[in-house]
């Protein structure tokens, strides 16, 4: 009974499974070269998976290009969408004049609630 006891084992830190009899799927390694720091990163994918043209560099975080026959693949960014900011989306709904009017109204409301006015600020 003492041989089968788990007392004293670190169950959360150690696995009791072994890799005996496990058949791994076929894998393929692809290399990516960073466009900024020229670091080569090797990434392992399944053999039947299509490797992406770009990968994030682990060193500097910039874009790395897939390397085929010791030459990086040229990545075409012409079809990429430009990220819209909150300001861009706001300008799609309102004009600058409308935004200025809303800002002035809101500032006047806040100043009135605080008990200050624009006349006091100008004279001070």
67-116 pLDDT tens trace: 888 777 777 777 777 888 999 999 999 999 999 999 999 999 999 998 87
Instruction: List helix spans (H) across the chain.
Output: 86-93, 96-114, 118-123
CATH number of 26-75: 2.20.28.270
CB 54 within 8 A of CB 66: yes
Q: Where are the chain's structural domains? A: 26-75, 86-123
pTM more than 0.85: no
45-75 pLDDT tens trace: 999 999 998 899 888 888 888 988 877 777 7
Sign of the Cα torsion 39, 45, 48, 54 reads negative
11-31 pLDDT tens trace: 566 777 777 888 888 999 999
> What DSSP state is assigned to residue 108?
H
């Amino acid at each position: 009974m003492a041989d089968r006891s788990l007392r004293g084992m670190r169950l959360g830190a150690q696995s009791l499974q072994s890799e005996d009899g496990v058949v791994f799927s076929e894998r393929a390694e692809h290399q990516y070269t960073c466009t900024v720091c020229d670091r080569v990163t090797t990434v392992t994918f399944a053999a039947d998976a299509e490797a992406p043209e770009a990968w994030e560099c682990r060193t500097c975080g910039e874009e790395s290009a897939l390397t085929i026959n010791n030459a990086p693949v040229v990545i075409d960014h012409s079809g990429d969408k430009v990220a819209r900011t909150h300001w861009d989306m706001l300008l799609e709904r309102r004009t600058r004049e409308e935004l200025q009017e809303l800002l002035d109204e809101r500032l006047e409301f806040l100043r009135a609630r605080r008990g200050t006015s624009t006349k006091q600020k100008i004279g001070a």
